[in-house]
Amino acid sequence: MLEVNLCGLKITSPLILASGILGVSYSTMIRLFNSGLGAITTKSIGPIPRRGYRNPSIVEITPGTFLNSVGLANPGIDYFINEIKEIKSHNIPLIVSIFGDSNKSYLDVAFKAEKAGADAVELNISCPHAEVSSIGIDKKLTYSLVNLLKQNLKIPIFVKLNPNVTNLIDIALAAENGGADAVIAINTISAMKIDINTKCPLLSHGSGGLSGKAIHPIAVKHVYDLYKILKIPIIGCGGVESWQDVVEFFLAGASAVQIGTALHKDISIIKTINSGLSNFLKLNKVKSIMDIIGLAHQFETQEVSECD
């Protein structure tokens, strides 16, 4: 009922761990998977170790909504290979999020992830507080990077889209034309919060990325728009904290959904969401969650009538 086939990756739940949340150590990732996630996306991993920005790097600005500028802190791919191998020894579907400072470094990291056993790679070209965002705002750069990896990798390539652009559809189409197997919509939204007493930004880096409850309607709108244009699957991401949020993404056109910020409460939320999804499908006499993908597109926008 909840099983999803995502580009050949068969997962038992449509819920996937979002990159950047708890995806560093294999022990934590195994715990999350055993709690009911269908697949794991790692934290973004680069070619070399990176410290990231100093604290404060994450703050909750309203209940369920966070601002962060971690700065892609990670141990580097050579160290992380051991984590990938350990995760795969437990037969857990694994998507490795990667970044680099050039097309070649992206490819090098992707090669190592694939060789270590990754089931797919997610290209982080959209982090709003790091240099990689320059790729995700340019359709030519996006096409070039995706196409290079497509020609050299055997595993699926997912592209995480940057919402901080004028036209997300142009970037998504560039990714699809370059050979992307799926896109993730969306990454965090560029934002800032200033302390009026210190007169300084709350984050050490200044600006950061907004995630959680507040961005969910924005993410749903992007998924809805992309579904009308793309031929490849869309993974919804942004503000999922209930089974209703997941259903909404699927109705908009998503084929799977990533969850991240909501896990700060308790990972038991995964089981609660899966249970709610199953009950919803049974109540509506739907055999598979994949049968509700894009159903909201049967809706017709009401035209504005002229006054008499």
Alpha-carbon distances, residue 251 vs 49, 200, 207, 222, 248 (angstroms): 40, 41, 33, 13, 5
Mean pLDDT for 125-154 is 87
Instruction: Report the CATH architecture of 4-298.
Output: Alpha-Beta Barrel (3.20)
Beta carbons of 157 and 106 less than 8 angstroms apart: no
Distance CA 35, CA 37 (A): 6
Domain ranges of the chain: 4-298
Distance CA 172, CA 175 (A): 5
Answer whether residue 133 shows pLDDT above 90.
Answer: no
Mean residue pLDDT across the chain: 93
Number of H helices, E strands in the chain: 9, 16
**Which residue is associated with the tokens 């909501």?**
262
Alpha-carbon distances, residue 290 vs 252, 257, 277 (angstroms): 12, 12, 12
Q: How would residue 261 be classed by pLDDT, with cut points 50, 70 and 90?
A: very high
Both tokens of 242, joined, read 């209930």
Answer whether residue 131 shows pLDDT above 80.
Answer: no
Both tokens of 181, joined, read 């197997």
Answer whether residue 308 shows pLDDT above 80.
Answer: no
Cα torsion for 84, 90, 93, 94, to the nearest 10°? -10
Q: Which helix (H) or strand (E) holds 272?
A: helix 269-283
Distance CA 120, CA 204 (A): 33
Both tokens of 174, joined, read 């560039």
pLDDT 10s digits, 16-61: 999 988 878 888 999 999 999 999 999 999 999 998 888 888 899 9
Both tokens of 61, joined, read 């600005």
What is the set of active-site residues? 127
Beta carbons of 41 and 256 less than 8 angstroms apart: no
Q: How would residue 128 be classed by pLDDT, with cut points 50, 70 and 90?
A: low
The DSSP bridge partners found for residue 185 are: 236
**Which has more pLDDT, 201 or 126?**
201
pLDDT 10s digits, 102-126: 999 999 999 999 999 999 999 999 8
Quick one: pLDDT at residue 17? 97
**Which has more pLDDT, 298 or 18?**
18
Mean pLDDT for 250-271 is 96
Distance CA 123, CA 110 (A): 9
Distance CA 129, CA 197 (A): 24
